[in-house]
């Protein structure tokens, strides 16, 4: 990779990560400044509230009070994602993984410097009171889905390349196994 492409690639990654972390942290600061713990403010009746709470666990409060274990898992996941970002040439994957990293870092900051992860988005969906979550959680979930889509699309692309190459070499794989 030439120097200019290298600078552009890592500037895009860093920019996306920083924007995601800032959006997450700013929304958490606003929530903490305007809500008391467990106080709910109704936004859309029977569907959406702002409710401030602190989660010392993972999703759905799994591993509550295991802050250092969850922080370690986050650091390992972040390291893995950085490794994949270095290796990728896919813009779609790069953007998705950068958003994922931003979400991980946003929640990691809370785990290290707060009493727990600051959660405040509270939805009641079809009668199910969904666990309260935050912007970083949204980034993580949406980008994880997009990463999976990216991997599926990349796999299909690679499969197509192999099929074309085999056809060029005179080998027809469509009839194998019949």
The residues with which 103 forms a beta bridge, in sequence order, are: none
- Look up tokens 């989660």; give the residue: 55
Exactly one of 110, 137, 155, 172 is catalytic; which is it? 137
For this structure, is 119 an active site residue?
yes
Beta strands (DSSP E) in 12-127 are: 40-44, 48-55, 117-125
Contact 28, 34 (CB under 8 A): no
Contact 100, 139 (CB under 8 A): yes
Distance CA 104, CA 112 (A): 12
Distance CA 155, CA 59 (A): 29
Exactly one of 24, 49, 110, 119 is catalytic; which is it? 119
For this structure, is 137 an active site residue?
yes
Judged by DSSP in three states, 127 sits in coil
The residues assigned a catalytic role are: 119, 137
């Amino acid at each position: 990779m030439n120097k200019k492409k290298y600078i552009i690639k890592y500037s895009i990654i860093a920019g996306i990560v920083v924007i995601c972390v800032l959006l997450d942290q700013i929304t958490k600061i606003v929530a903490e400044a305007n809500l008391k713990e467990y106080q709910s403010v109704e936004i859309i009746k029977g569907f959406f509230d702002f409710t401030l709470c602190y989660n010392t666990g993972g999703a759905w409060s799994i591993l509550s009070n295991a802050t250092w274990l969850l922080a370690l898992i986050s650091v390992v996941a972040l390291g893995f994602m950085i490794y994949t970002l270095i290796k990728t040439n896919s813009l779609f994957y790069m953007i998705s993984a950068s958003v994922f990293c931003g979400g991980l870092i946003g929640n990691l900051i809370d785990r290290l410097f707060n009493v727990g992860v600051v959660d405040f988005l509270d939805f009641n969906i079809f009668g199910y009171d969904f666990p309260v979550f935050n912007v970083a959680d949204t980034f993580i979930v949406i980008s994880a889905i997009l990463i999976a889509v990216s991997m599926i699309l990349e796999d299909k692309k690679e499969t197509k390349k192999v099929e074309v190459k085999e056809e060029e070499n005179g080998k027809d794989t469509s009839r194998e196994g019949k």
